[in-house]
Amino acid sequence: MLTMTENRIDNVHILPRARWWWLGLALLLVLAGWLYLRGYNVSLPYIEHHDEAQNLLEAQHIIDFGHARGVFRESYPPGLRAVIYPFLKHIKPVEAHQGTMLPLLRLITIGAWMLAIVFVALLGAMIADPLTGLMAAAIWIVNPWVVDRAHFVLPDGYLTLFTLLAMWLALIGACHGRRSFTTASVYSIMLAIAFKTQAIFVAPFIVLLPLLNWRRSDAWQQTFWNCLRFAIFLFWLLLLYPTLDAPRDIYLFPVTELRLVIPSVESLWQGLSQLLVTFQPLTSWLLAAMSGALLWRYRQRVNRIALIMVALSAFAWLVGTHLLPTRGFHLRQYFGMGAMLAVLYACGLTGLLYAGQEVLSHLKTAYLTERARHMIVPGMLLILLAISLQTPYRQSDALAHNFTLYDRRNDLMRYMDSSLPPGKYITDRDGPNHKVFNRAWGGYTGLHNYPLARTLRDLQDKPLEIWRANDAVYAIMPHAPLLDDPEIYYPDETVLLKTYPIDSGFRDPGMVVLRLYPMQHETDAPLGTVRLVGYDINATQLKAGDDIALRHYWQADQPTESIHHVFSHLLDGDGNIMAQTDYVPLWDDRRPSTTWDDPDEILLGREFRLRLPADLPPGNYQLVSGLYDPLTWRRLASPEGRDYIEIAEISVLQSEV
């Protein structure tokens, strides 16, 4: 019978043979599925993550034009585009937006992350003990840094998967004499680089690992062919594929400023510490390092080649990404290295496992069976690990829950498209709303266009005339500052049309929609459940044949029971209709009065035009408006019983002869 701590990766078997190990791995994958798959369709159809939109756009550009030139990241490695391309080319309906493929693409990407977990576990089991692999997988799974990234169609999951696969294959090939595994490892690291170039820092270890058996003639032969394959790949990547045709700036730094430097110890530690704390506090890493030192005592039970390779690969990754200092430190560059750190952390804990087993073996007691001796130390270690992972698990679970929340920026898209005339808008520079109405980047598919006029720090940075001069009609701003200073976002010169308050039940951060032009006249005239709160009018003194331009501003305590239209009549002193117009109240008939379900919303009416008859006698007339059911002709009435609202007195002047 196999015990929990027997290592079953030997010269014959390259995989753990204990059934409990595979059962444990299956349970961990279920845990990963709970964290990664929950909310995988986050925010859709609005495309929240701008890199997802960029990746889709690049693949679509290749379909449309046969190349990626003209796209901002045309030199980016082609791996993710190759994944996206067949879905856009062969599965997506021609008329559909490319964002409709995101749910399926996200599932495939999450699959890559989950396969990476398998190789984290296999590497850990190869280095020390099968339990080491399961601990490494658990540590990696619950990391909120990973959970936050795993939900989106990004290259990091594929990079991590193929890097770990390459390391595992290379180690199997070198330690077990499996030449086919060695060859496969080179192709795997090529795939990793094709998704993200950081994997190139691990490539030398993969390509040259057969030289560990340098006394064997076939080791040199394997290395030669590895180098040749990799050289051909680099020739294609650097010279045939436009990798070197980088944009003129990278992270806002001109390419001419990029230079290779030897990173300082301080900068390396700063980057490493930021990465370490995504797993555990630094004190926990110190304890793991101290317990890992115990492995020297049990070095006969440790695959030192595998351990050294993982450690050196992680170090090479860290140093390599610091060679271009102008890029700065970005955690998204370190997912492959992060997986290696999870393995090393678990290896450190294995030192405690071996030490505890040794101590227990010297205790002579009749109360413990041989099986219990093998179970008690691993059990205690797993309990301590589970306790230490409670905090990152809760953070990851909260993240996964947040991904399931509805994003009201989808409502914002529908609201603007069906309620407001087309026009440019301004928004906060650092906020999330700059691409809500961008068809390529935000997934917007509405009938009407709302281009971004400008991003800004504060609506009152400059007078509203500046924004209006930029043809801006609307502003979409964060809701949060309204709690402290409402005048920041809707001074008297604007109209607050729609509010999406901050709500923990939604994913979005809360928003307000403003019109950058005020109502000319404010009023409060109820008709049924609807109130006229203001209106714009071009003139009250006109001549026969002129046009009256009229716009209403409505609010509704609740929707009307049936669809109502607006009428506007010009009445003489006897109540006779001299001019009239009527139609749906808002600019688009997709927003009838039966959908006016937000009592705080100000509904911007369409602009109505009444042309005065050319023979209209001079005098004073009354302009009135109201709401009526076009099927029954019944009008909404005020509490006093009046079925119209007096808008303004119109003076028709004598025409000049």
215 and 175 in a common domain:
yes
Q: What is the largest CA-CA distance in the chain?
A: 124
Six-digit token pair at 603? Answer: 């509904």
Distances (CA, A) of 349 to 2, 132, 236, 294, 514: 21, 8, 43, 10, 57
Q: Is residue 605 part of a domain?
A: yes
**For 471, left (φ over 0), alpha (ψ -120 to 50), or beta?**
left
Six-digit token pair at 374? Answer: 């093998």
Query: In the structure, what pLDDT confidence band is assigned to residue 409 with cuts at 50, 70 and 90?
Result: very high
Distances (CA, A) of 419 to 520, 552, 559, 601: 20, 13, 15, 11
491 and 455 in a common domain:
yes
589 and 494 in a common domain:
no
Bridge partner residues of 452 (DSSP): 425
Q: Which amino acid is at 490?
A: Y
Q: Is residue 410 part of a domain?
A: no
Distances (CA, A) of 378 to 300, 311, 351, 354, 384: 19, 24, 12, 9, 10
527 and 506 in a common domain:
no
Q: pLDDT > 90: what percent of the chain?
A: 68
Q: Is residue 181 part of a domain?
A: yes
Three-class SS state of 295: helix
436 and 392 in a common domain:
no
DSSP-derived secondary structure letter, 87: I
296 and 314 in a common domain:
yes
The tens digit of pLDDT for each residue in 573-628 reads 999 999 999 999 999 999 999 999 999 999 999 999 999 999 999 999 999 999 99
Burial class (CB in 10 A: 0-12, 13-18, 19+), 153: buried
The tens digit of pLDDT for each residue in 276-335 reads 999 999 999 999 999 999 999 998 999 999 999 999 999 999 998 887 654 556 888 899
Pairing between strand 541-543 and 530-537? Answer: unpaired
Q: How many domains does the chain have?
A: 3
Of the candidates 515, 532, 548, which is a domain's last residue? 515
pLDDT at position 324? 64
Six-digit token pair at 73? Answer: 């990241």
Domain at 570, CATH number: 2.60.40.1930
195 and 319 in a common domain:
yes
Q: Is residue 413 part of a domain?
A: no
On average, the pLDDT of the chain sits at 88
Q: Which of 27-36, 140-149, 383-392, 451-460 is the least confident region? A: 451-460
What does the pLDDT average to over 25-41?
A: 96
pLDDT at position 327? 52
Of the candidates 515, 538, 571, which is a domain's last residue? 515
494 and 541 in a common domain:
no
380 and 479 in a common domain:
no
Q: Is residue 417 part of a domain?
A: no
Contacts of residue 610, defined as CB under 8 A and 6 or more positions apart, other chains included, come to 547, 548, 550, 568, 570, 579, 580, 581, 623
Pairing between strand 577-583 and 565-571? Answer: antiparallel
Q: Is residue 8 part of a domain?
A: no
Query: In the structure, what pLDDT confidence band is assigned to residue 369 with cuts at 50, 70 and 90?
Result: low
Q: pLDDT > 70: what percent of the chain?
A: 89
483 and 378 in a common domain:
no
What does the pLDDT average to over 405-409?
A: 96
More confident residue, 442 or 249: 442
Report the C-alpha gap between 601 and 611 in whole angstroms.
30
* Type and span of the H or E element at 425: strand 424-428
501 and 532 in a common domain:
no
Strands of the sheet containing 603-611, edge to edge, are 521-527, 530-537, 547-556, 603-611
pLDDT at position 329? 66
pLDDT at 535 over 80: yes
Report the C-alpha gap between 343 and 246 in whole angstroms.
34
Q: Is residue 13 part of a domain?
A: no
Q: Is residue 9 part of a domain?
A: no
Query: In the structure, what pLDDT confidence band is assigned to residue 228 with cuts at 50, 70 and 90?
Result: very high
pLDDT at 122 over 80: yes
Range of the domain at 465: 428-515
179 and 80 in a common domain:
yes
Three-class SS state of 391: helix
pLDDT at position 249? 44
Strands of the sheet containing 645-653, edge to edge, are 541-543, 645-653, 619-628, 565-571, 577-583
What does the pLDDT average to over 561-574?
A: 95
Of the candidates 382, 400, 418, which is a domain's last residue? 400
pLDDT at position 4? 42
The tens digit of pLDDT for each residue in 449-508 reads 999 998 887 777 788 888 888 889 999 988 866 556 666 667 778 999 999 999 999 999
| CA angle 39–41–47, rounded 5-degree value | 125
The tens digit of pLDDT for each residue in 234-282 reads 888 877 676 655 544 444 333 434 556 788 888 889 889 999 999 999 9
Burial class (CB in 10 A: 0-12, 13-18, 19+), 240: exposed
pTM confidence score: 0.88
